[in-house]
Amino acid sequence: MNKSESKYFNTAIRMDEALITLLEKKDFEYITIKEICDAAGVNRSTFYLHYENTSDLLKETTRYILDKHFAYYSADTKGITEHFVNCELRNLVFITSKYLVPYLSFIKDNQRIFKVSIKQFNSLSMDDVYGKMFEHIFNPILERFRVPEKERAYVMKFYLTGIYAIVMEWLDKSCSDDMEAVIKVIVDCVMGERNIDG
């Protein structure tokens, strides 16, 4: 990357971060280009060099957040979808440290960004992201486990809502509880590892 590409890239990151900061305070539809430029420390012409409008920036900011998240995973976990058809069922269980450590590490290291993603879920089109995850990841896995098609959305909602509740409890405590303890709670709840006999 040459110097001008690097400057262009760094300016884009500053605008992504500026938008995230503004989204902490107000809804997207009330954020102006002037506010973005002021927060990023750039002029209006620089904004238009990068984007046609605020919606373009919003799309890029969503991609920026997702790229930051995916960077926490190793290369072998990124290409996992290719193995869904032929792998053993036990390899389709993602409620393990291999997947939860990067997920929770991203949340812990990026609490502000994660909170904005939750608060601005619809503006950032996160429902589209989860829709694609359901189509390309969750649905094929549930199919392999022979979960009837009509039940799959309910099953995923149950698991995702439960995991979300645990993560939000951890986030409410500024991620101060030990990550391994949180992983154990998630695994125990999802995999049914509770001893009811005491």
Separation between Cα atoms, residue 90 and residue 103, nearest integer Å: 20
User: Which residue did the predictor score with more confidence, 118 or 77?
Assistant: 118
Cα torsion 176, 179, 171, 154 to 10°: value is -160
Looking at the fold, whether 48 and 76 belong to one and the same domain comes out as no
Q: How far apart are CA 69 and CA 7, in angstroms?
A: 23
pLDDT band at 5 (very low <50, low <70, confident <90, very high): low
Q: Per-residue pLDDT tens for 24-37? A: 999 999 999 999 99
Residues 61-66: what's their mean pLDDT?
Answer: 94
Contact 94, 52 (CB under 8 A): no
Q: Is pLDDT above 70 for 4?
A: no
Give the number of other CB atoms < 10 A from CB of residue 41: 11
Q: For residue 91, what are the domain limits? A: 72-198
3 state SS of 84:
coil
Same domain? For 95 and 164 the reply is yes
136 DSSP 8-state letter: I
Residues 152 and 83 in one domain: yes
**Tally of domains in the chain:** 2
CB atoms within 10 A of CB 77: 13
Sorting pLDDT into bands at 50, 70 and 90, what band is 197? Answer: low
Q: What is the pTM of this model?
A: 0.83
Indicate if 87 and 119 belong to the same structural domain: yes
